C-alpha cells in the first residue's frame, strides 16, 4: 500500500519526485516532439482492483488543437527512467491501459 | 511552494437558472482588489465583462478507464497550463461550470497530480441553489444532488420567491445532504448578493469553523434541535420569544447533573425521553419551573410572547428546545431583565429522512492515530468506497507528529498538509465524509482500528 499521507517523506524525497516528474515531461516532450504550449500531466495512481498493478504512472499530454494522448506505465514514479518513458511512447501512445469492468 | 504561493481556485456550480453568472458578475465588480481569471464552460444569457475570460469545452478525461475517481477535466488542465504562462496577470481563478456539470471531475483536476497541487489550491466549491425550484431539480437530477454534496458553500438564491417557512425547510434539506457546508442566504431584495468573504478566501478557515462549531452530524437524531447550559441565579426569570416557524414549540428546562461540567450529549440523552410525552400547550404568561418534563409553548399569538420561569435555587440549568433559539429570537432574561447567554450550547440535526441518499459521516477521536495504520486504512477504504465518497475533510492528530494535519479529498484523491503545531487547541482527530450511500459501518469500525497503542 503506498504511503497515502506522505507524512514521513523527507523534503528531499519530494524534491526528488518533482525532479523526476520534470524529467518525465522532458522525455515525453522529446519523444513526441512537443513545444512549450503543451501541458504534460504526470500522475502516480494506486489501483486496488484484482489483476491490476498496485501502482502505475499515467502520463497525459494536452496540446492546443490536438487530441489528448496518454500513456500508462505499470510501475511507481521512482522506478521510471528515460528508457521506460521513451519506450512506452514509441510502442503506443495509449499503451498499457487497463480497464475496470 | 507554500500554501500562500498557490493560486486559489473557486469552482462555481449550480443548476440552470440558479444565478451563477449573476454571482460571478457581482464577484467581478466587487471592490476586493483581486484580479480574477474566469474559466467558463458556456456563455450564458448574461455576459461576463472581464478581461481574462476563457471559454472551455468540457473534456472529460478518464485517467484509468471506468474509474470515476480518476476522472478529471482535460479542458481545465489545458487552460490551467496555459494560464500559468500568464501568471502575473491574475491573483485568483474562478471556474464557472455548466448547470449540468458533475463537480467531481472539476474538483479532482486540482488534486490529480503533485504539480497541480503545488500550483493551485481549491479554495472552495460554491453551489448556487434556486430556492424556488431546488426541490424539482434535486428530485430529478443526480447532478443537482452532487452539486450540493460537493459544496463548501451553498448559496440559497432567489429567496424572494419562497416563504420564510419554505426557505427554512430548504435549508434543512440542504443541510441533511451536506452537514459541513456553509449555507448562505442571498439578499431577498437583490439576488445573488452575499458577503464576498463568504465565497472567496474560505480555505481551511471554513473547515475549522465548521468542524468546531457545527458538528451536528456527530449526533444521533433528537426530537429537539438545541441544548444550552445557563448559569442562573435564584428568582423569577423570563423566556421571551418572537414570531417563528411553528405555532407551538416543545422545550425542557432542567438542572444540570454535576454542575456546569455535564456534557451536552448527556443532557440531551436525559431530555430525549421527556420529549415523547404528550402535553397540553401553555399560553404566554404562564410560568415554567425546572423539571424533568416536556413543556409545550403555545406560540400562536402574533408578536412578542413571554413565559415566566421560576428558578428556586442558583445553579446550572439546561434548556432543550425543539427549534433553534434563533428561529424564535428566544431570549432568557434574568430577574433584572438582562439577557443571559448560554455558557455552552450544542445544535443537533433535526429528525429528517435521508431521502436523498446523500449524507455526511463524521468520525472523531481524542486518542492519537497511528499514521501508518491510518494511511493504509484510508487508502483501502478509498479504493473500495472512493466512488461513493464525494468529499472528505478533516484534522488529524497523529502520534509522534507535533503538527495539526489537515486532509481533504475528492473521491479517491487526497491531499494533506501541516497547519503547524496544535498550540492551545485540544489535540483531536475530526474527519468528515460526504457521499452517496456511504458504508458508514465500514468507515466507523475501520477508523477506530487506526488508534495508536
B383 and B301 belong to one structural domain? no
Total tally of structural domains belonging to chain B: 3
B147 and B73 belong to one structural domain? yes
What SS3 state is found at A19? helix
State whether A64 and B78 contact (CB < 8 Å): yes
Report how far apart the first and last C-alpha atoms of chain A are (Å, whole number): 22
Under the banding of pLDDT at 50, 70 and 90, the label for residue B337 is very high
Q: Is the pLDDT of residue B420 over 60?
A: yes
Instruction: Give the tens place of pLDDT for each residue, A39-89.
Output: 999 988 876 666 667 788 989 998 888 888 988 898 889 999 999 999 999
B269 and B133 belong to one structural domain? no
Does residue B220 fall inside a structural domain? no
Q: Is B74 on the interface with A (CB under 8 A)?
A: yes
State whether A41 and B77 contact (CB < 8 Å): yes
Under the banding of pLDDT at 50, 70 and 90, the label for residue B93 is very high
Under the banding of pLDDT at 50, 70 and 90, the label for residue B165 is confident
Q: What percent of chain B has pLDDT over 70?
A: 91
- The pLDDT value recorded for residue B206 is 59
Under the banding of pLDDT at 50, 70 and 90, the label for residue A90 is confident
B202 and B286 belong to one structural domain? no
Instruction: Give the tens place of pLDDT for each residue, B317-330.
Output: 999 999 889 888 99
B372 and B321 belong to one structural domain? no
Does residue B221 fall inside a structural domain? no
Mean per-residue pLDDT of chain B: 84
Under the banding of pLDDT at 50, 70 and 90, the label for residue B397 is very high
Instruction: Give the tens place of pLDDT for each residue, A2-50.
Output: 566 766 666 677 788 889 999 999 999 999 999 988 999 998 887 666 6
- The pLDDT value recorded for residue B220 is 53
- Angle, CA B78 vertex, CA B390 and CA B24 arms, to 5°: 65
For residues B229 and B85, the model is more confident at B229
Give the A:B interface size as CB pairs under 8 Å. Answer: 96
Does residue B136 fall inside a structural domain? yes
Contacts of B376 in chain A (CB under 8 A): 1, 4
State whether B112 and A3 contact (CB < 8 Å): no
- The pLDDT value recorded for residue B78 is 87
User: Lowest-confidence range among B53-62, B101-110, B403-412, B420-429?
Assistant: B53-62
B90 and B137 belong to one structural domain? yes
User: Lowest-confidence range among B78-87, B260-269, B293-302, B351-360?
Assistant: B351-360
User: Lowest-confidence range among A7-11, B118-122, B247-251?
Assistant: A7-11
Among the candidates B179, B195, B215, a domain finishes at B215
Q: Is the pLDDT of residue B56 over 80?
A: no
Does residue B110 fall inside a structural domain? yes
- The pLDDT value recorded for residue B49 is 60
- The pLDDT value recorded for residue B218 is 42
* Cα dihedral value A79, A82, A83, A85, nearest 10: 80
- The pLDDT value recorded for residue B393 is 86
Instruction: Give the tens place of pLDDT for each residue, B62-74.
Output: 777 667 777 888 8
Buried-state track B82-120, b at ≥16 Cβ within 10 A, e below 16? ebeeeeeebebbbbbbbbebbbbbbbbbbbbbbbbbebb
- CA B42 to chain A, closest CA, distance in angstroms equals 19
Q: Is the pLDDT of residue B121 over 90?
A: no
Q: Is the pLDDT of residue B104 over 60?
A: yes
Among the candidates B319, B347, B375, a domain finishes at B347
Under the banding of pLDDT at 50, 70 and 90, the label for residue B11 is very high
B98 and B8 belong to one structural domain? yes
User: Lowest-confidence range among B108-117, B258-267, B337-346, B351-360?
Assistant: B351-360
- The pLDDT value recorded for residue A22 is 92
Among the candidates B181, B215, B249, a domain finishes at B215
Q: Is B114 on the interface with A (CB under 8 A)?
A: yes
Does residue B182 fall inside a structural domain? yes
Let me know how long chain B is: 453
- The pLDDT value recorded for residue A96 is 41
Under 8 Å between Cβ of B275 and B348: no
- The pLDDT value recorded for residue B16 is 83
Find the CATH number of the domain harbouring B132: 3.40.50.300
Instruction: Give the Cα separation of B397 and B161 in Å (integer).
Output: 45
Q: Is B28 on the interface with A (CB under 8 A)?
A: no
Neighbour-count burial of B219, counting CB atoms closer than 10 A to its CB (0-12 exposed, 13-18 middle, 19+ buried) = middle
- The pLDDT value recorded for residue B129 is 94
User: Lowest-confidence range among B119-133, B135-149, B155-169?
Assistant: B135-149
For an interface test with A, the pick among B58, B60, B78 (most A C-beta atoms closer than 10 Å) comes out as B78
- The pLDDT value recorded for residue B324 is 87
Q: Is the pLDDT of residue B299 over 80?
A: yes
Give whichever of B24-33, B170-179, B185-194, B287-296 has the largest mean pLDDT: B287-296
Find the CATH number of the domain harbouring B395: 3.30.1220.10
Does residue B352 fall inside a structural domain? no
C-alpha grid cell, residue B227? 441544548
Give the chain B residue nearest A60 (alpha carbons): B63
DSSP β-ladder status, B92-96 and B7-14: parallel
B372 and B416 belong to one structural domain? yes
Contacts of B374 in chain A (CB under 8 A): 5
State whether B113 and A5 contact (CB < 8 Å): no
B120 and B180 belong to one structural domain? yes
- The pLDDT value recorded for residue A98 is 43
Q: What is the mean pLDDT of residues B351-365?
A: 68
- The pLDDT value recorded for residue B315 is 94
Question: In whole angstroms, what separates CA B139 from the centre of its chain?
Answer: 21
Under the banding of pLDDT at 50, 70 and 90, the label for residue A97 is very low
Q: Is the pLDDT of residue B53 over 80?
A: no
Under 8 Å between Cβ of B391 and B146: no
For residue B315, what are the domain limits?
A: 226-347
Give whichever of B164-173, B221-230, B328-337, B390-399 has the largest mean pLDDT: B328-337
- CA B23 to chain A, closest CA, distance in angstroms equals 30
Under 8 Å between Cβ of A78 and A9: no
For chain A, which residues lie within 8 Å of any Cβ of chain B, measuring from their own Cβ? 1-8, 14, 17-18, 21, 36-39, 41-49, 56, 58, 60, 62, 64, 68, 70, 97-101
Instruction: Give the tens place of pLDDT for each residue, B195-224.
Output: 888 888 877 545 666 665 544 444 456 778
Amino acid at each position: 500500500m503506498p504511503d497515502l499521507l506522505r507524512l514521513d517523506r523527507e523534503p528531499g524525497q519530494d524534491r526528488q519526485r518533482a525532479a523526476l516528474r520534470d524529467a518525465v515531461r522532458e522525455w515525453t516532450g522529446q519523444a513526441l516532439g512537443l513545444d512549450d504550449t503543451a501541458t504534460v500531466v504526470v500522475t502516480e495512481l494506486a489501483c486496488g482492483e484484482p489483476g491490476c498493478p498496485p501502482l502505475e504512472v499515467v502520463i497525459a499530454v494536452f496540446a492546443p488543437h490536438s487530441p489528448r494522448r496518454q500513456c500508462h506505465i505499470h510501475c511507481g514514479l521512482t522506478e521510471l527512467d528515460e528508457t521506460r518513458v521513451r519506450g512506452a511512447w514509441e510502442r503506443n501512445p495509449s499503451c498499457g491501459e487497463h480497464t475496470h469492468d | 511552494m507554500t500554501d500562500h504561493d498557490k493560486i486559489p481556485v473557486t469552482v462555481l456550480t449550480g443548476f440552470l437558472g440558479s444565478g451563477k453568472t449573476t454571482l460571478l458578475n457581482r464577484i467581478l465588480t466587487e471592490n476586493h482588489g483581486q484580479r480574477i481569471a474566469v474559466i467558463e464552460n458556456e456563455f450564458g444569457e448574461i455576459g461576463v465583462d472581464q478581461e481574462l475570460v476563457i471559454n472551455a469545452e468540457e473534456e472529460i478525461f478518464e485517467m484509468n478507464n471506468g474509474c470515476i475517481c480518476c476522472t478529471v477535466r482535460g479542458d481545465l488542465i489545458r487552460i490551467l497550463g496555459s494560464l500559468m504562462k500568464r501568471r502575473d496577470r491574475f491573483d485568483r481563478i474562478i471556474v464557472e461550470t455548466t448547470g449540468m456539470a458533475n463537480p467531481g471531475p472539476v474538483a479532482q483536476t486540482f488534486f490529480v497530480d503533485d504539480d497541480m497541487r503545488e500550483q493551485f489550491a481549491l479554495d472552495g466549491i460554491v453551489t448556487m441553489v434556486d430556492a424556488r425550484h431546488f426541490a424539482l431539480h434535486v428530485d430529478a437530477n443526480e447532478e443537482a444532488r452532487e452539486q450540493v454534496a460537493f459544496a463548501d458553500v451553498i448559496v440559497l438564491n432567489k429567496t424572494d420567491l419562497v416563504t420564510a417557512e419554505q426557505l427554512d425547510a430548504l435549508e434543512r434539506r440542504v443541510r441533511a445532504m451536506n452537514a459541513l457546508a456553509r449555507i448562505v442566504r442571498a439578499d431577498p431584495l437583490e439576488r445573488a448578493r452575499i458577503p464576498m468573504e463568504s465565497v472567496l478566501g474560505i480555505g481551511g478557515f471554513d473547515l475549522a469553523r465548521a468542524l468546531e462549531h457545527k458538528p451536528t452530524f456527530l449526533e444521533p437524531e433528537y426530537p429537539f434541535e438545541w441544548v444550552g447550559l445557563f448559569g442562573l441565579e435564584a428568582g423569577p426569570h423570563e423566556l421571551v420569544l418572537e414570531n417563528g416557524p411553528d405555532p407551538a414549540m416543545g422545550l425542557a428546562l432542567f438542572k444540570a447533573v454535576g454542575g456546569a461540567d455535564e456534557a451536552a450529549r448527556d443532557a440531551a440523552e436525559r431530555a430525549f425521553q421527556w420529549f415523547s410525552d404528550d402535553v397540553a400547550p401553555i399560553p404566554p404568561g404562564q410560568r415554567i419551573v425546572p423539571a424533568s418534563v416536556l413543556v409545550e409553548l403555545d406560540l400562536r399569538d402574533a408578536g412578542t410572547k413571554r413565559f415566566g420561569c421560576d428558578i428556586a435555587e442558583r445553579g446550572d440549568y439546561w434548556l432543550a428546545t425543539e427549534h433553534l433559539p434563533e428561529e424564535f429570537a428566544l431570549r432568557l432574561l434574568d430577574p433584572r431583565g438582562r439577557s443571559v447567554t448560554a455558557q455552552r450550547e450544542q445544535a443537533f440535526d433535526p429528525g429528517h429522512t435521508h431521502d436523498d441518499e446523500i449524507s455526511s459521516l463524521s468520525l472523531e477521536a481524542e486518542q492519537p492515530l497511528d499514521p501508518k495504520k491510518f494511511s493504509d486504512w484510508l487508502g483501502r477504504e478509498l479504493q473500495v468506497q472512493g466512488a461513493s465518497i464525494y468529499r472528505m475533510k478533516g484534522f488529524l492528530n497523529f502520534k509522534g507528529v507535533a503538527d495539526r494535519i489537515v486532509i481533504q479529498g475528492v473521491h479517491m484523491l487526497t491531499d494533506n498538509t501541516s497547519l503547524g503545531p496544535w498550540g492551545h487547541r485540544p489535540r483531536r482527530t475530526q474527519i468528515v465524509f460526504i457521499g452517496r450511500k456511504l458504508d458508514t459501518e465500514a468507515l466507523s469500525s475501520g477508523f477506530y482500528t487506526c488508534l495508536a497503542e
